[in-house]
Amino acid sequence: MIILKSPEQIDLMRRSGKVLAQTHAKLRELVRPGITTLELDRAAEEYIRSQGAIPSFKGYQGFPGSICVAINDVVVHGIPGSQRLEEGDIIGIDIGTILGGWHADSAQTIPVGEISQEAQNLLATTERALWEGIAQAQPGNKLGDISATIEEVAKKAGYGVVRDLVGHGIGTKMHEDPQVPNFGKRGRGITLRVGMTIAIEPMFNLGTHRVVLDSDNWTVRTADGKLSAHFEHTVAITASGPVPLTTLGEERF
Ligand code: MG
Ligand code: MG
């Protein structure tokens, strides 16, 4: 069941999203060779709580961190720990916040120092796919319009699109209906309506789309060990079009 949100409720989600966006901005400043992912996790938790919000991932199905980290071939859901970032790495940081009972969810993948041209292209293309997907989140469009748009960007670049993990509705729960796949067909699926709030989150791989789960039962990696990138925003579908709720600015389409 898809739960539609009122403009007032979307405004509350926007507040949660603002805290999240500020947390991302702070972590981006900290990312550098030598820092551990646990240090990033602690900085995120401290800032989120200082704003009166809660890091929603902490304790979610037993997850130990406040953020998920994804270095190089890790797609998503890596556990923060003693691993130090190295020059040339890419690190995906996924964060969830709850403020006043409202969830926000957003991820970005960040270069550590100088990265290869191949990695730069992967990051730029995955982020572009997110924004092209967001632009399709218009009332009256179909869910498949978002999915197909994202998939087409990946295919043009020759990347694998992760199929085992998808975007999702979001609101008073982190995961609500509908699922938002990063692959699909234009004109298919449910009709997008004013008041829907969804997390759109392309995950692109340099090689195969297939992924494997580590023995920690959390960390998802590419099956071939090649790089993976992940970008995500929480987006509200409004009468005037899609409104990203997890940015620092006031982007509208
Ligand atoms: Mg996320
Ligand atoms: Mg998500």
CATH assignment at residue 62: 3.90.230.10
Integer Cα distance of 23 and 53 in angstroms: 11
Q: b/e for 1-16, b at 16 or more Cβ within 10 A?
A: eeeebeeebbebbbbb
Quick: pLDDT tens for 119-150.
999 999 999 999 999 999 999 999 999 999 99
Beta bridge partners of 223: none
| Residue 89 tokens, joined | 């790495």
**pTM beyond 0.95:** yes
252 within domain boundaries: no
Residue 27 predicted with pLDDT over 90? yes
Ligand 2 centre to CA of 170 (Å) is 8
* Count of CB atoms situated within 10 Å of the CB of 155: 12
User: For the chain, how many structural domains are there in total?
Assistant: 1
224 within domain boundaries: yes
* pLDDT, the chain, mean: 97
| Residue 221 tokens, joined | 């990696």
Ligand 1 centre to CA of 5 (Å) is 20
Quick: pLDDT tens for 209-226.
999 999 999 999 999 999
- Within 8 A by CB and 6+ apart from 45, the residues are 55, 58, 66, 67
Ligand 1 centre to CA of 232 (Å) is 6
What value does the mean pLDDT take over residues 81-105?
98
Query: Could you give phi then psi for residue 240, rounded to 5 degrees?
Result: -95, 15
Q: Is 249 exposed, middle or buried (0-12, 13-18, 19+ CB in 10 A)?
A: exposed
Residue 251 predicted with pLDDT over 80? no
204 and 160 in contact (C-beta within 8 Å)?
yes
140 within domain boundaries: yes
220 within domain boundaries: yes
- Residue 8: what pLDDT? 97
What value does the mean pLDDT take over residues 154-162?
98
250 within domain boundaries: no
233 and 202 in contact (C-beta within 8 Å)?
no
Q: Looking at the CA of 175, name the nearest ligand.
A: 2
Integer Cα distance of 54 and 140 in angstroms: 34
Ligand 2 centre to CA of 239 (Å) is 23
Residue 58 predicted with pLDDT over 90? yes
- Residue 249: what pLDDT? 81
Boundaries of domain holding 177? 7-244
251 within domain boundaries: no
- Residue 57: what pLDDT? 98
Q: Looking at the CA of 235, name the nearest ligand.
A: 2
User: What single-letter amino acid sits at 131?
Assistant: W
- Residue 129: what pLDDT? 98
230 and 211 in contact (C-beta within 8 Å)?
no
